[in-house]
Amino acid sequence: MLGPFAATKALTIGVELELQLVNLRDYDLTRGAASLISALAGGPHAKAVKPEITESMIELNSAVHATHAALLADLDRIRAGVCAAAAKLNIGVAGGGAHPFHHWAERRIFPTERFHALSDLYGYLAKQFTVFGQHIHIGCVSGDAAIRLIQQLARYVPQFIALAAASPFSQGEDTAYASSRLHAVSAFPLSGRMPAVDSWAEFERYFARMASFGIVRSMKDFYWDIRPKPEYGTIEIRVCDTPLDLDTAAAMAAFAQALCAWLSEQDAGPSLSDDFDLYEYNRFQACRFGFDADIVDAGTKKLVPLREQIVATLDAVLPHAQRLEAVDPLALLYSRATAASNGARWMRESMRRHGTLADVVRAMCERWCTPRSVSREP
């Protein structure tokens, strides 16, 4: 049910991107996943595109890569193929963590055995799970290395949230959050932070205990912010909203790669108990205020501006980014942090410019499917 941890090369990267499918009349979500996946069948990107829990979503899956440039090129090819196929079906494709005005009750569960089982178990939460995230996989040489990285990364979760935040609207309203998406995830049991285990053997004992109760059957039953994926030999960072463009998505993966490289050389830092005491508060602050959040530093026990912490982290990991050929994507994130400019801000500014949420979604579709050689919006 759990299986051994499949050791892989350290610091390899891969991503999953959940995308919105909308109609081109009023830009509401549309039940287009089956048609789009069918249109891609037999083509070069068929295996890279999968259904998600409702019929208005798809998931893009990259291959495993060692560098940011290779990852970005891979994702760009998949994006181009998906956007071309979607255009023939009159379907719009967009990033962003949540559709600004869809109504969850109108969604339909994608017809697979697993998704129907989830719907039977979670009821209306399954349809409310029509939110869109980026999952970043980082390769680890062992299960122990994976557990150590997950615990170290916990204090950086607010930084990932703020950098990728792109879900300020929900059900037609401005939520006042930078990232409203994570609250849909938090409604599920076994969400939030992984328990305070400190080795793979201890995690195996925890999993066996939960399985003995009939609570879990596989790692998919855990909705943690960061979780191990033993079958891939990775850790999976799950707190990012899907960005509005590929440059940001690939930059977030490069940031995770450089941060993990830096953390692998660091001491443990503040104790797990200190982190656990602060985790939910800091996570909420990042979701609510994004770059404007003040969070508690686990080392100093003082409130600090999240944006200053992000800049300090980017400075700290820069030598590793240089070695990993990832200076440019970190520079992109540095400029976003110093300007307090993320996807949520862009969407709100788009609303002020255009006046309707339908126009915001139209602009999101244009931004996602515009070739990178034509446009690289801030």
Average pLDDT over residues 307-323: 97
Give the pLDDT band of residue 171 (cuts 50, 70, 90): very high
Average of per-residue pLDDT values in the chain: 95
**57-103 pLDDT tens trace:** 999 999 999 999 999 999 999 999 999 999 999 999 999 999 999 99
**232-287 pLDDT tens trace:** 999 999 999 999 999 999 999 999 999 999 999 987 666 666 778 899 999 999 99
Return the exposure string of 1-27: e unless at least 16 CB atoms fall within 10 Å of the residue's CB, then b.
ebeebeebebbbbbbbbbbbbbbeeeb
**Dist. CA 25–CA 273, nearest whole Å:** 51
Residue type, 225: D
In 3-state terms, what secondary structure has residue 200? helix
Q: Supply the CATH number for residue 184's domain.
A: 3.30.590.20
**Dist. CA 327–CA 335, nearest whole Å:** 12
Q: Which domain holds residue 275?
A: 13-369
Tokens 């390899």, located at residue: 12
78-85: long-range contacts at Cβ-Cβ below 8 A with a sequence spacing of 24 or more? 78/45, 78/48, 78/49, 79/246, 79/368, 79/369, 80/371, 81/40, 81/43, 81/44, 81/45, 82/19, 82/36, 82/40, 82/45, 82/49, 82/58, 83/368, 83/369, 85/36, 85/39, 85/40, 85/43
In 3-state terms, what secondary structure has residue 58? strand
In this structure, the chain runs to a length of: 378
Domain contains 5: no
Phi, psi of 68 (to 5 degrees): -60, -45
Query: Structural domain tally of the chain?
Result: 1
User: pTM, whole model, 2 decimals?
Assistant: 0.96
Domain contains 378: no
> In the prediction, which pLDDT does 271 show?
64
Cα 254 to Cα 23, 137, 226, 309, 319: the distances in Å are 33, 11, 17, 18, 13
Beta bridge partners, 57, equal 20
Domain contains 377: no
Of 95, 68, 17, residue with least CA distance to 253: 68
Q: How far is CA 181 from the centre of its chain?
A: 10
Average pLDDT over residues 309-332: 97
Beta bridge partners, 94, equal 20
Domain contains 2: no
Domain contains 321: yes
Cα 156 to Cα 21, 44, 260, 306, 331: the distances in Å are 31, 36, 11, 10, 18
Please say if the pLDDT value at position 373 is more than 70: no
Domain contains 245: yes
> In the prediction, which pLDDT does 310 show?
98
Give the pLDDT band of residue 7 (cuts 50, 70, 90): confident
> In the prediction, which pLDDT does 267 show?
76
Structural contact between residues 347 and 166, judged by C-beta atoms closer than 8 angstroms: yes
Of 325, 377, 349, 315, residue with least CA distance to 159: 315
> In the prediction, which pLDDT does 270 show?
64
> In the prediction, which pLDDT does 312 show?
97
Average pLDDT over residues 44-48: 95
Domain contains 230: yes
The radius of gyration of the chain from alpha carbons, rounded to an integer in Å, stands at: 20
**175-208 pLDDT tens trace:** 999 999 999 999 999 999 999 999 999 999 999 9
Domain contains 164: yes
Please say if the pLDDT value at position 375 is more than 50: no
**106-122 pLDDT tens trace:** 999 999 999 999 999 99
Residue 191, CA atoms < 13 Å, CB-side half-sphere? 13
pLDDT-wise least confident of 92-101, 128-137, 289-298, 368-377:
368-377
Structural contact between residues 158 and 282, judged by C-beta atoms closer than 8 angstroms: yes
